[in-house]
Structure 1
Amino acid sequence: MKIQAIELEATGKPELLIVAEQLLNQLLSGYPNDNFIKSSSFHTLGNIYKLRNDLETALKYYKEAVDFEKIWPNIKTQADIDFSDLVVKMNKPEYFDLAEELMHKRLEKSLFPLEKYRGYSILAIISQSRGDNTNFERFKKLAEENASKETSGLRYHKDLGTVKKRDSWLDRILKKK
């Protein structure tokens, strides 16, 4: 059910998003003690609401996934990046400390230029909002370096995790200064 819901969400079609949401809710209520499915279900529900442009609800689901992953750190999704991305795009300073913490943790272990591009962009925007020009410039430079990388550094999957499409919103904010 989880895989089917993720595939339906990926289509972005409104009628299929309804079915994906129903599947995930059924999964969560039918298997309340299955910790393996919770984080990815919350993350996918966040994606569904983001596609519907209900950003407050998307943020709520991403936060649920993030909170769950703090308790169960061996279960990991992209919820931390999606949560932090939405926090800066919605300008939610009450979550900036959490987003900053999440991005630093993600970047410690990240191999992929795409994750680094997004993470450093988020950190740059948070730094800029705090008037920390030194870190703003440093993170902005790191974001740009990672956005420009043409390989991931992996031997057999050289372009896995590279930036194929830049986030115009992040780039616009970073170029303002």
Structure 2
Amino acid sequence: MPEVWIRLSTADRRRNWFWTAALTLVCAGTTVAVSLVEPEADHWRWAGGCAIVWLAAVVYTINRGYGRTLLTAQGMAFRTFFSRRRLPWVEIVRVERRSHTARSGEWWYLRVVRVRGRDLAVPGAFTSRRYDRDFERKLALIEDYLRRAAAGEEGNPRSAPRH
């Protein structure tokens, strides 16, 4: 099986930058509004709190936007700005499409369900569009690699008969 990268398209990364900029404007507006309303002693506390929330949100959106996954015959390699992780196919039970709903909208992402341990998000595989062909293609590709790996390994615990 050839190695394949799963990542956001250029248009999706641009959309991610747009929302990062929108978040920056909201946090900057909140900081200015609070500093004008609050007394001098308290407005630095509010500004610092807004800055911390903004920084955490920006780091999250940039990390999410530039995360990617490499599919190989041996397994999956997750890459983000802050982490690198390899996961062999024998440790993966299935890949699930999950959704998250908030006041601002809904988005979908992929999670890898492991034999042991917590589920892991697949970097480079999320969307906010209800019927996104690219997202569905990524899910089908990962499931195809998982299916091929399960069929080709004798020592795979998923292929052993269960009693």
- Give TM-score, length-normalised by structure 1: 0.26
Q: Relative to total residues, which structure has the larger strand share, 1 or 2?
A: 2
Q: Relative to total residues, which structure has the larger helix share, 1 or 2?
A: 1
Does 1 or 2 have the higher relative contact order (CA < 8 Å, sep 6+)?
A: 2
Bigger radius of gyration:
2
